[in-house]
Amino acid sequence: MANLSNRQRVVITGLSVVSPLGNTLSDLTLNAFGGVSGIKKLDTPFVDQLNCKIAAQAQFDPAEHFTKHTYSMLDRTSQMALHTSIEAIKDSGLVLDETLRPRMGIFLGTGMGGAHSIEDGYVRLYKEGAKRLKPFTVLMSMNNAAASAIALEHQLTGPNQTFSTACSSSAVAIGEAARLIRHGYVDVMLAGGSEALLTFGTIKAWEALRTLAEDDAEDLSASCKPFSIDRTGLVLGEGAAMLVLESYDYAVARGANIYAEIVGYGAANDCNHITQPSVTGQAATMQAALKDSGLAAEAIQYINAHGTGTKLNDATETNAIKKVFGAHAYDLSVSSTKSMHGHLMGAAGALETIITTIAVTNNQLPPTINLKHPDPECDLDYVPNEAKTLPRLEYAMSNSFAFGGTGAALILKKVN
């Protein structure tokens, strides 16, 4: 039965990624804090049919990690999610047994679920004239396929839910998983996100929305330019990121390594416009996280911004930060790591939470690269082009905002 009177502390004990900046924590750290771009020309047969030829691809071959029988029944989204779940549990040092499994679950975020499987089905049906589709097409394409595969792999009989709130999906998944632990419903949760939408049809749909960045004529890897006056839009990315969350007491009792503590989570919907963000809505999200944490705004030293590189989002987020933090907005540092790893949509919040966790652990701030021509409307410290080291980074926030208006913010605290 949940204990609603005494809140449990929630800590992060395991991390794993498949990302455009590498598939190990060491590679992610080296590249994200070294200002290395994972954006390049899309490596697919259909690239010449695209107007936008760049993306942030993850170098992930499922055959290196699973048997053909296993990966052939999983969409790329589920393949990456399942792999990161296995690696995150390894990183945490958890031993799964019949005592823990009922007290452990999986919350996963994804925006489009099995995009590859859906497109493959359409190609077979409408282009190739197939009379039948793969028997597992429905099971591979449904949004909860990845979370279900993870629960089956680890025999987790605790809560299993999939969150789909567009770009904030995995941040919501992490925040809601933390709430379960905080109130005593579970001891441990896997939480994160996965997204694989670099298909021909999906990219063409994004082109029609007119939010994708133009290819930089001089350097394709510099095409995403958050907070810069010459920014032209976002760059699509793919990958997965998974965290192991535990109650502090459970983690200490088993001698776990603790990366950081989640002390605040806030979510809000701006109810403004399906694609256009609002200062009020983004501010409400950050204010909710601060209220949940019990911290004064002045305690926050760093924000990993949503920072997509679109004209509207970057200016809106800047003004929302000013609304929430007042004069302190000019004392804290803000950066957009999407300038390096692109926008992983439903998995973005989880990847950025991991990068923020590394920042808190190492007292180092990742840069916003390609920021050579600052926008006067965006006048905060965006950690331009090079990482910054702090004597001590105590509290950091990670922002995720989304089409549809749902925002989520997470606040992390150093534990040592």
Residues known to be catalytic: 167, 306, 343
Structure token pair of residue 235 = 């760059």
Q: Rounded to whole angstroms, what are the CA distances from 216 to 167, 222, 226?
A: 24, 6, 14
Give CA 359 to chain center in angstroms: 15
How many residues make up the chain in this entry? 416
SS percent in the chain: helix, strand, coil, step 5? 40, 20, 40
Map residue 162 onto helix, strand or coil: strand
Q: From CA 353, how far away is CA 132, in angstroms rounded?
A: 42
| Selection from 192, 78, 195, 198 nearest residue 140 by Cα | 78
Contact 275, 403 (CB under 8 A): yes
Contact 172, 110 (CB under 8 A): no
Give CA 389 to chain center in angstroms: 23
Contact 414, 278 (CB under 8 A): no
**Which residue type is seen at 77?**
T
Query: For the chain, what is the radius of gyration of the CA atoms?
Result: 20
Structure token pair of residue 281 = 């809505």
Q: From CA 338, how far away is CA 293, in angstroms rounded?
A: 26
Angle at 197 between CA 228 and CA 82, to 5 degrees: 115
Burial class (CB in 10 A: 0-12, 13-18, 19+), 415: middle
| Maximal CA-CA distance, the chain | 64
Check residue 124 and report its DSSP letter.
I
Output phi, psi for 343, to 5 deg. -105, 110
